[in-house]
Structure 1
Amino acid sequence: MKLTGGQIVAKALKANGVDYVAGMPGDGSWALVEALLKTGSDIPFIQVIQEQSAVHLADGYFRACGRPMAVLLPAPLGLSKALGGIAVALADASAMLVISGGIPDHDDDWPEFTATGITKEHARVSSIEQLPQTLRQAFDTMFSGHIGPVSLDIPAAVQRASVDASLSPATLRANGAGDIPSLMVSRPVAQLRSVLEGDAILVVGTQTLQDIVGEMFPDFQHQGHFCTAGAGTVGWAVPAAIGAKLAMPARQVVCAVSDGDFLQSMQEMAVCVMHSLPVVFLVFNNSGSESLSDVQVSLAGQPRAGEFNLPDGKPYSPDFAAIARNFGLEAWRVEHASQLNPAFIKALNSKGPSLVEIITARGSRVN
């Protein structure tokens, strides 16, 4: 069967979990817009009034649900009014695919825009044959290391061209596509504050997590409700939270701890079960010792010290929610933002000890 370049883009977006495209059509992008609107693409096109709004819309969408959108610009990236919004998305680790179509009369000689400092990667597609591989690479780059926007210049001539192709979703899907990207630590911490009682005691683990919680709870510590180990002692938080609950049985006690820290003393959950102590354990799971891996730079794509990996380099992590249930706790596993509030409320209302495991992004402190 014959596919146009625009149809290949639409198929790749669908294969990589993109549910919406926002933007403004221009002279260089009509073929792509037509492909998106074609029956069978099933990707709504949301037209905005000002092009920077499309970037902000995609940014907000990703922060809310952890899935990327595509953004269609009416002019080449180097001439776009949306550069500031794209830079914000890069700084705040927000993923999106930014597509520009160029100017039809300049498809062959329009100078490429070097997007250094604006997107993680910028590529110009010069032929329709390059499209599948370039699109796969774009999504791989988007979610590798520091999450951020990637931009593609797909000239109108490439969008209109056609090629004999039968592309299955698997041939267009990037490695790991379809997985919901992990949350940044700040999002669940902010959500937690909204459901805690005013006199709750929040016990926080190692220093990296303490810094984040301190930013999100600027007045909590001054009210005497925020307990940390000054030296950031690994393994301190779990038993310390149990002690805090024994001291203040009428107050909510939440233990916020990274997975590497939790592994040092998680066996003490048994104490909560044996003595019916309703402590809430909040475990941030980023497949590694957060205090170590988040402050290191990956060299030549090699795993950083402190990361938990399998021999093939894929992240490794125990199922902490399942472990907690086997100890006798109620437990929930949170993988995207919409699950946060319900899980927190259930845990805080539990009559016994409970645990909420939150899958968070590696490098989330840096991001």
Structure 2
Amino acid sequence: MKLTGGQIVAKALKANGVGYVAGMSGEGSWALVDALLTTGTDIPFIQVIQEQNAVHLADGYFRACGRPMAVLLPVPLAVSKALGAMATALADSSAMLVISGGSAGHWPETMPPGVSKEHVRVSAIEQLPQALRQSFDTMFNSRLGPVSLSIPTAVQNTSIEVSLPPATLRANSDLQRTDSRLAECAAGSMLGADRPATVKDRASCPIKDSANDAPPLMVQRPLTELKSVLERDAIVVVGAGSIQTVVREVFPADQSRCHLCATSVGTVGWAVPAAIGAKLAMPARQVVCAVGDGDFLQSMQEMAVCVMHSLPVVFLVFNNSGYVSLSDVQDSLNEQHRAGEFNLPDGKPYSPDFASIARNFGLEAWRVEHASQLNPAFIKALNSKGPSLVEVITARSSRVN
């Protein structure tokens, strides 16, 4: 059989149980994207808006189900925007294969340390099968982590006569040992899979606006209301900052892989794409991304991925016009202007209208300013057939009460 380098990669991904590839197409990756969509391979390609978010998405996918995704970058890894995202995955032992393209002549001499468990360069198509097996073995040997594989466009497009049954491409590592939920993940990993209507009987509740509620809301109240309507096995993907502490208080960890966060690094912008990955991994479970407004601004463009693939992720955005964690730290240093606040020139708080932005992306969205609006908004969001967003206006300081 005559195969291109791109087709060999696609067959290896299929043989090793990779269900999705996230990334961006470009001059350095077109051959690989075409190979993924070839009959007999049919691995869905999840186009993201920014390179680093493809890695975060794969990170969330692995944390939710224990199976690795592949990431496809159109440029050499060392010059991409994905290095920080890979360092986050390495710090938290999240396994994935990151494949980068480009021209062999543009490869940097060295890769920065602390980015991946191993970086493999392939200079000839004959090296591909062994390099792919080695990459999967490496990511699961000893401590789990990402492995990067550089395949120049010349190798992707070169053809070779070769016989490659799946067994010759499959890694030696027993991937089935990594997580007890792998069978669940494999059984329900289709895009747009059906999910149970868990709060359907309450979906028609109107959203009331009560002037008697005493603003501003603290983060604890919305999370407590959310917990009351979530299924027990719902996955809550948590953004960076003090919100992680509140989630641990409100949601005791009594279920495997129910609370996901970038614990070792606390990467801002991680939660949104990670939540999308978690939904791809566990389509039958509710997935909520709880994130602050500053964090959300880093990667909110990936809402488009949810719309394009009809992924019903609920984004819960706490809008306090800034990075509350940073503001509280500097409170005693400068009462007039605290670092991390979003302000207009006259000192008034500034904030985008996230609910309106989400609607323009194609999501259903609600803006909550009073406690009485929380429960109806959450019920409507969880019953949405596609992605949705609930924006909650919260106190600027976590010390208000």
Q: TM-score, normalised by structure 1?
A: 0.50
Which fold has the larger relative contact order, with Cα–Cα distance below 8 Å and residues 6 or more apart in sequence?
Answer: 2
- Larger CA Rg, structure 1 vs 2: 1
